[in-house]
Structure 1
Amino acid sequence: MSEKRINRSPSEISREKDFYKRQQLKHNYTSDRMNEKRKLKENAKEKARRLKNKKNKESKSRSAVMRVDVGLLGGSIALPIDLKGYIDNLIRTENFGGADCDKCFAIFSPALKAITDLPIGLLTEKECMLPRALLPSGYTEILRHCRRMISVAQNERYIAYAVAGWRTAPIKRSEFRKADMGAQKTALAHLASHARKLVQIEADHRSLFEAIVCGRHKSALSLLRAGYPKSNLKPHEVRAVIKEHGLIYCLHDLQLVAARARKVEANPFGSFVSSTMIQMKPENIANQSRRMAILLKWILAQYTTSNEELRGKRPPEDIPDPDLLLLWQMS
């Protein structure tokens, strides 16, 4: 059987060669781009891995044990009598910012820029009341104090949204869902009215003003029942001011609770634990604490006072790697 042959003109052969050449170039270009992207991705992963290893290495070198070690070797305490007291003082300092910290003054300090700047221990002190030394006076100071009680960061939209939830406010929170700027202005104007009424109470009845602003609202109601001098404010209006300021204290408690919840999730141990993790994992903390405890026991066993050194006890020459101590302890 004869073989069929397809006769093609030179121009057709040339077009076919050009077509395959273009396809090959396209394939090579696509492959190069894919290889380039793959290489960039691998380089980024390698860079991230090296950075993570570097941070983990730095994190292991910083721990609470070394802070305790500096205090011990400095001769500031006598072992083993004052060790528990030293540890308790260290924990108080970490939780409250100092062993002799004035909790109420720190929480209501006008210098506080963000509620999350407070140590985690202070964020549980919701029973603290405003110290008399920090009492505001005059419309400007009172209004600033009320706004900071609602939001230390002075977030106007949040302040307005919170005030709109009051029963005495002339606007409802549902108005905020309509993205109406007038709703925010109305709510802020109501808070300003609350501040002006407090100014009037300060002028009429100083003791009642202090009881309201300092958070002693039961005492404030008792003083109101005992009698209120004749003024532009009626007794029922003063009672409404007491209720509103009670809500302001509730909003301040809400700030503390939210800030503590954020810190607990991120790092509840403060500077006791140095980590690159966004969220602390209990098993990682347990493993790190175990290594720290083994190293601390070794340091205390090798601790040498000046008198002991004179009597012949030699101080430790070096501090071993905690991981090696952990392996030795488990073997």
Structure 2
Amino acid sequence: MKNLLPQSVRIVEVGPRDGLQNEAQPISVEVKVKLVELLAEAGLGCIETGSFVNPKWVPQMAGSEEVFSSLRRVAGVTYSALTPNLKGFERALESAVSEVAVFTAASESFTRKNTNCSIDESLSRASELMTAARANNVPVRGYVSCVVGCPYEGVIAPAKVAEVASKLVDLGCYEISLGDTIGVGTPASTEAMLSTVLQAVPADKLAVHLHDTYGQALANIYAALQMGVAVVDSSVAGLGGCPYAKGASGNVATEDVVYLLNGLGIAHGVELGKLVQAGQFICDSLGRENGSKVAIALQNKA
């Protein structure tokens, strides 16, 4: 283990996309726009704002064009979108997104069930999209799901994660977000995975996207920070469940990540008070409980 914490961390807020896409109830464009604007006001510089997937598969993302066109954009803030294929990229381009993200997995079974294709086929789709992105000067981020465990295959070999992440970098992704999709990782398994991936991809091209299904996300993030990873994906108020573990929590709450970074003296640029307000706004709008322990503690203290 490197045991050298970064001086600053970039937080990628995924709540408006990865969080909201799991909600069963309809969510208006106005609520989505308000959430993104509140997150930007809180100081988040990277916000995953929508997804240009087929709305038949992800109904909550159907209004992404309207969300992007309605936003009051803040200079310097990256408003990104998930794009599964070339058609999705073309829709994103028309919406003037700041950057796009492509996705695959380190599990063959998960890739087939999630995108109806093999890992190699998903990389081929990404390659086609990235040619178009280069031609339009749009940065591309890569997601690798199931980097520690898979709901169908169980434990995933770190070497497979390194192989897939390396291929995405070779295709032109500026950064690879490593996702513990079902949240089964521990600091030991996270460290083992990262140790192998770091032999193929440098730390400054890596991010972690660690779910909290078993309550390990913050510990795993700390392990990743000690290994030189300085980009963390998180979701305000812990939005987003884990579809493979019924009733389980999904994304780690951005408020909890910010509190951890504050305690470590690591700069991040986010104002915790405003972030808590943004989280409570979306929880009130959805009629759901806040999934952030820090937000709940601060509100009880007030």
- TM-score range relative to shorter protein: under 0.3
**TM-score, L = length of structure 1:** 0.22
- Between structures 1 and 2, the one with greater strand share: 2
Q: TM-score normalized by structure 2?
A: 0.23
